[in-house]
Amino acid sequence: MIAVGAGAEMRRTLGMAVFSGMLGVTFFGIFLTPVFYYVISGFGKGKQSMPEPTALSPQRSNGADST
């Protein structure tokens, strides 16, 4: 980014692109990846099967241990 001398224009341009890309990837990795993980994990929770509703009265056994 801070090039001088022969070919400095091309090296400055390339340096700016590389530096900006590094900043963007760092920002994405630190801040946006956890947000995307949280959002996507929330979608997965909605697709789980609902548990069977419990009966209001206890089920009777088949008579093997009736008193």
pLDDT per residue as tens digits for the range 37-51: 988 888 777 655 556
CB atoms under 10 Å from CB of 11, counted, come to 15
CB-count exposure of residue 56 (10 Å: 0-12, 13-18, 19+): exposed
Whether the per-residue pLDDT at 67 is higher than 60: the answer is no
Taking only the tens place, the pLDDT of each residue in 5-26 is 777 888 888 888 999 999 999 9
pTM listed for this prediction: 0.47
